[in-house]
Amino acid sequence: MDSKESAGYLKQPDGKVGKVRQACDTCHMRRIRCDGMQPCWKCIAGDNNCTYNAVHKKTGPKGPRKSAKARAQKHGPSSQSKSDSQRPLTSPSGNQSSDATVTNPTSGSIPDPSSNYNASSLPAVSIDVITFCVDAFFKHKYPITPILDRAQVEAMILHLVSYTEQYALLTACCSVMVLNPELLDLPSSPPSADGQSRPYSSADLPSVDCLISETMKARSLCDWVEHPSLTSVQTSFFLFSAYFCLGKDNSAWFHLREAITILQTIRFHEESTYTDLAEDSGLVVYARRMFWVLFITERAYGLQRHRPLTLQETIALPAVNEGREKDILTGFLDLISLFRNFDSDFLNVWNLQSVEGPASSEAIVRLQDILQHSLRNLPSCTDNQKADLLLTRQWLKRMVWQLCVTKSLLSSTTDEESMSIAYPITIAREAVIASNIVPATALEANGVGIVEKLFDIGCSLADVLTLRPRLAVPVALEIGALDYLLELVRISGTVVGGSSRHLEILVSKVNDCLQTRASNGLQGLPQIWELDDDELGTNEEVMRQSFITADVDGWASAVDNMFGIFYSTNGLGSLQEDTFNIID
């Protein structure tokens, strides 16, 4: 191949090199030569998704320019000022760059590339902020919710002035990410007038309320209800996620159902729709993933908040092909497999709407066994997925056990551990082990969702220890149930992005549990001593290897060795807040 042709030039019949009419979105974003083919040579070489979705702005003046005096008379003095909540984000130097603002469309059509933003009615979010948030999403959240096409998102950022609904999607995504500013890789700001620059900080980011407001304003300018799209579904899902993290349950539920309703309106819950759209492979891939993310989310939220189900298993699972996303999709399918066990029959019993369903002892034991032996593809998953999968499995075990409590199915003499009142001890033990196997950043990437699961597990364990205080009495030189409870408190308190409300409730339950021990004459409090660094490292490696081979007994032995336990009798009066700081 000719060197110039391989560099992205187009050969003319006479041998001259000519320009292409339009570069693909990826080449345009990277500002490199494109051969104009579908797919282009650069995208083939880089294994990129080659698309031509972006509509480039016309060059040249848009019309006769008005004089400054005429513009001032038209807008008046009021247009020169804005409230702080509406002012676009500025750079840390105080100067707002000209390319860091987005304007507001005047047309309500979807999408209308010719529409321009009205800056006075829709304050813009800086392109830098959107880029920071999008990069963080694909680094930390995408392995858990793989619902956005990165090439298309990057094209959206380049052409925000052309698409209001895409702007709404990006600001909704940003509203989720700014709730976890520690996940953002914030660079230094451009030099200011005095030549100085400083790092961006979370204080430079717009608030979550501001970003949600931007999303709503952008949506009000396009007819997304009458003309819904996959973008509409994705936007509503991100709004649900933001409100869920904020603890606004009614708003979260509203936008989750909104996302499902839009998805059903455009019939992405029917397999025939995907057959009809077979030529648009990108849309088919991400629409199918969006369905299954909503399938998982609705079931998880239904269990947490006692809500009914809408989505059923009506389409095929996402395909796993060889490529860079193989491991992500394998983990995604494992997560789907966990929640496929919780159908409408189970939720109806869970919500006390039905006396029939999977509430027999045999059905419960079978379901617990399925959960215990799930996650066969765990070793190939990313760390963020491992944290999500391992702790979600333990949380689901807890929910099934809680149903047994409601239905009075537990027994103190059963041979089935999952049907015993002490089962939350085992659940908490495995949750603690899983939390110590994955890096702290993996827990942070999962955010409030993980903290709520740990909270539920901890509450069940605390309730059991309060009812049966002798279960908290450890065997000498072994980690006991109370140690697991204290470790859950520690983890919940150290995960960045967690909820202080959950931590306070869990600590209160721990105090109740300790007071119950005192009233029953069980005065001893555990003290946990740290092993030396070499022994600690050896046992952490054993834990990881046991985790990879799904050897639960190996986990137990390693974690018991990792914590050297010695007990002393101190009396409850000496309990201080630092009792909860368990050494790991």
pLDDT (tens digit per residue) in 128-175: 899 999 999 999 999 999 999 999 999 999 887 778 999 999 999 999
Q: Which domain holds residue 23?
A: 3-46
In a domain, 454, yes or no: yes
CA-to-CA distance for 35 and 20, rounded, in angstroms?
A: 6
CB 419 within 8 A of CB 361: yes
Residue 524 lies in a domain: yes
Lowest mean per-residue pLDDT among 103-117, 165-179, 191-205, 483-497:
103-117
Residue 395 placed within a domain: yes
One-letter identity of residue 313:
E
Q: Does a structural domain hold residue 229?
A: no
β-pair type (525-530, 17-18)? unpaired
Is it the case that residue 70 has pLDDT exceeding 90?
A: no
Residue 20: CB atoms within 10 A of its CB come to 16
Nearest alpha carbon to residue 402 among 503, 501, 512, 306 = 306
Range scoring the smallest mean pLDDT among 119-133, 172-186, 212-226, 410-424:
119-133
Where would I find the beta strands (DSSP E) of 481-557? 525-530
Residue 377 in any domain: the answer is: yes
Q: Per residue in 25-50, pLDDT tens? A: 877 777 677 888 888 877 776 667 88
User: Which residues make beta-bridge pairs with 567?
Assistant: 526
Rg value, the chain, Cα: 28
Q: What are phi and psi of 503, to 5 degrees?
A: -65, -45
Is 348 domain-assigned?
Answer: yes
pLDDT in tens, 196-219: 666 667 778 899 999 999 999 999
Mean pLDDT, the chain, rounded, equals 77
- Concatenate the DSSP letters of all residues of 14-51 into one string: TS-EE--S---HHHHHHT------SS-HHHHHHT----
Residues contacting residue 459 through CB under 8 Å, at least 6 positions apart = 505, 506, 509
Instruction: Report, as an integer, the average pLDDT of 397-404.
Output: 96
The reply to whether omega before 39 is within 30° of 0 (cis) is yes
Top pLDDT among 73 and 507 is at: 507
Q: What is the DSSP string of 391-449?
A: HHHHHHHHHHHHHHHHTT--BSS-S-GGGBTTHHHHHHHHHHHHHHHS-HHHHHHHTHH
Alpha-carbon span 448 to 502, nearest angstrom: 10
Residues 6+ apart with CB under 8 A from 7: 33
What own/partner pairs with CB < 8 Å and gap ≥ 24 does 114-117 have?
Answer: 114/162, 115/162, 115/164, 116/161, 117/161, 117/164, 117/167
Does this model's pTM top 0.85?
A: no
Model confidence pLDDT, tens digit, residues 243-272: 999 999 999 999 999 999 999 999 999 999
pLDDT (tens digit, 9 = 90+) per residue, 344-371?
Answer: 999 999 998 766 666 789 999 999 999 9
Angle at 324 between CA 323 and CA 325, to 5 degrees: 95
- The tokens describing 137, both together, are 């999403």
pLDDT for the residue numbered 163: 82
Mean pLDDT, rounded, for 496-516: 81
SS3 for 529?
strand
141 within some domain: no
Rounded to whole angstroms, the maximal C-alpha distance in the chain is 97
pLDDT value for 230: 98
Domain count, the chain: 2
Is residue 158 one of the residues assigned to a domain? no
Residue with tokens 């963020």: 384
pLDDT of residue 575: 25
Residue 151: φ, ψ to 5° = -60, -40
pLDDT: which is higher, 188 or 393: 393
